DNA sequence: GTCTATAAGGGGATAGAC
DNA sequence: GTCTATCCCCTTATAGAC
């Protein structure tokens, strides 16, 4: 990713990406001009085209890199299918919260700017998102089949849990009242109760 | 709201509002031009300024009217503080889901376009949103104090539940597999389990 | 690798005719 | 109540100097 049009400085390429992420998260893709990004980086507007063929590709790269990092990190954090279901759910929740807490700008962009992707790019990003959702879907469906989780409609429960968890990025603040660890614990508790299972920190007894 | 600059046709005013809502929800405030809105309405761009003093006010009106309608409808749907807590939570969840299902465009705008509001307008909309969140917060804190709901950290639980419920607007489709009534039921179940209370459809026994 | 200059077009908003 | 015409500014992207 981070497609170069020439053999330019890697440092500047990263600065462009970072500036674009911050500005787009703050003001929105359509509202941010290439001149603004250039000013933030400390170069002239024309120089940006050494690092991206156009503005649309810059957005697509931000979103697809974010989704690919999310998937790769999720796959590393995931427990195999033969691990206890409560461990698998807990690992997913803790991973999702901690990953999202440190990436508020990217998360925001990946939700908000889908509509500004050209159709081909949109489909690519959506496919990655669906793959991620399915990782939780698999845990919940395995749990429902095993009688450990009560999911009702699986798709609704999956979407509800993802929405609940991702919501952390709308209010989390580094300087806030709660530590990331405390927030993780809390969401683990909520997620377990949501599927009618005893939160791991409280007890191992059946409901 | 829907501030007029003159005494113009109410029908056109509504058409402008509706076109703006649909276009902004689809493409984003910054990406939609006044000319596009005018084309959708079937007038020339200049004529729009009979119905709004400027583009920013058009956005603010859409968002503040949406939030005020939400609050007014919520207050009508709400049960008094002396009603059973489970009834109050169920009423909130059913109201929230049904209200949001029919207003996907407005809901989307009210989340996405906050950053495009000028500071004064932003503060006004945020105050309305906070008032709405506090309505759920009150139900949960009353329930926690009565020992009926397990909320852990009240603010986290409130934000998590709002995020879970509002998420319905990202995937609901009129032509989808599930009816609004079935979706409502499902979210009621999830919400009750989330706070460790027995879903009303299943039983009235304490946990 | 970055700059300046510029092409080509779209933006919000207003004036004044009808 | 709406239209046409227009002002002035900003946009993305490219060309060519350094």
Positions of strand D less than 7 angstroms from a protein CB: 1-6, 10-16
For A32-86, the pLDDT digits (tens) are: 999 999 999 999 999 999 999 999 999 999 999 999 999 999 999 999 999 999 9
Q: Which residue's CA lies closest to nucleotide D2 at its C1' atom? A: B47
Pairwise CA distance, residues A145 & A149, whole Å: 8
Q: Find the range with the poorest average confidence among A124-133, A156-165, B8-17, B86-95.
A: B8-17
Give the residue-averaged pLDDT of A1-9.
Answer: 48
Q: Report the residue of A24, A100, A129, A164 to disrupt the B interface, i.e. the one with the largest count of B CBs within 10 Å.
A: A164
Instruction: Provide, in whole angstroms, the distance separating residue B33's CA from nucleotide C10's C1'.
Output: 9
Instruction: Give me the sign of the Cα torsion angle A145, A150, A153, A157.
Output: negative
Q: Is the pLDDT of residue B3 over 80?
A: no
Chain B residues within an 8 Å CB radius of A186? 152-153, 156-157
* Least Cα separation, residue B160 to chain A (angstroms): 5
Q: Find the range with the poorest average confidence among A37-51, B123-137, B188-202.
A: B188-202
Pairwise CA distance, residues A73 & A201, whole Å: 24
Q: How far apart are the first and last CA of chain B?
A: 47
Helix (H) or strand (E) holding A11: helix A10-27
- Name the token pair of B15: 């058409």
**B67 touching chain A per CB within 8 A:** no
Q: Is the pLDDT of residue A7 over 90?
A: no
Name which of B127, B142, B136 is nearest B155 in CA terms: B136
Classify burial at B133, counting beta carbons within 10 Å of its beta carbon; exposed 0-12, middle 13-18, buried 19 or more: middle
Classify burial at B202, counting beta carbons within 10 Å of its beta carbon; exposed 0-12, middle 13-18, buried 19 or more: exposed
CB-based contact A67:A129 (threshold 8 Å):
yes
Residue A53: CB less than 7 A from any atom in strand D: yes
Size of chain B, expressed as the number of residues it contains? 207
* CB pairs A-B closer than 8 Å: 100
Q: Report the residue of A33, A180, A190 to disrupt the B interface, i.e. the one with the largest count of B CBs within 10 Å.
A: A190
Q: Find the range with the poorest average confidence among A5-9, A167-171, B82-86, B201-205.
A: B201-205
Residue B123: CB less than 7 A from any atom in strand D: no
**B130 touching chain A per CB within 8 A:** no
Task: Please state, rounded to an integer, the average pLDDT across all residues of chain A.
Answer: 93
Chain A residues within an 8 Å CB radius of B189? 152
Residue B6: CB less than 7 A from any atom in strand D: yes
Pairwise CA distance, residues B91 & B108, whole Å: 23
Instruction: Provide, in whole angstroms, the distance separating residue B116's CA from nucleotide D10's C1'.
Output: 18
Provide CB contacts within 8 A for B56, sequence distance 6+: B117, B118, B121
- A22: helix, coil or strand? helix
**A199 touching chain B per CB within 8 A:** no
Pairwise CA distance, residues A125 & A65, whole Å: 9
Confidence (pLDDT) at B9: 79
Q: Which of B112, B150, B167 faces A112 most closely, judged by CB atoms?
A: B112
Do the Cβ atoms of A156 and B187 come within 8 Å?
yes
Pairwise CA distance, residues A31 & A132, whole Å: 29
For A89-119, the pLDDT digits (tens) are: 999 999 999 999 999 999 999 999 999 999 9
Q: Is the pLDDT of residue A5 over 90?
A: no
Do the Cβ atoms of A30 and B27 come within 8 Å?
yes
- Name the token pair of B5: 């600059």
For B138-148, the pLDDT digits (tens) are: 999 999 999 99
């Amino acid at each position: 990713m981070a497609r170069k049009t020439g053999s330019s400085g890697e440092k500047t390429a990263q600065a462009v990406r970072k500036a674009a992420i911050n500005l787009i998260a703050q003001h929105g893709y359509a509202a941010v001009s290439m001149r603004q990004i250039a000013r933030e980086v400390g170069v002239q507007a024309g120089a940006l085209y050494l690092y991206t063929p156009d503005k649309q590709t810059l957005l697509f790269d931000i979103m697809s890199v974010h989704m690919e990092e999310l998937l790769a990190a999720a796959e590393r954090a995931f427990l195999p299918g033969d691990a206890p279901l409560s461990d698998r759910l807990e690992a997913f929740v803790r991973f999702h919260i901690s990953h999202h807490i440190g990436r508020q700008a990217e998360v925001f962009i990946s939700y908000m700017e889908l509509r500004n992707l050209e159709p081909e790019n949109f489909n690519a990003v959506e496919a990655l998102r669906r793959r991620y959702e399915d990782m939780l879907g698999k845990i919940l469906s395995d749990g429902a089949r095993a009688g450990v989780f009560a999911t009702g409609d699986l798709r609704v429960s999956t979407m509800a849990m993802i929405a609940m968890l991702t919501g952390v990025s709308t209010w989390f603040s580094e300087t806030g009242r709660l530590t990331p660890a405390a927030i993780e614990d809390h969401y683990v508790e909520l997620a377990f109760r949501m599927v009618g299972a005893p939160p791991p920190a409280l007890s191992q007894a059946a409901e």
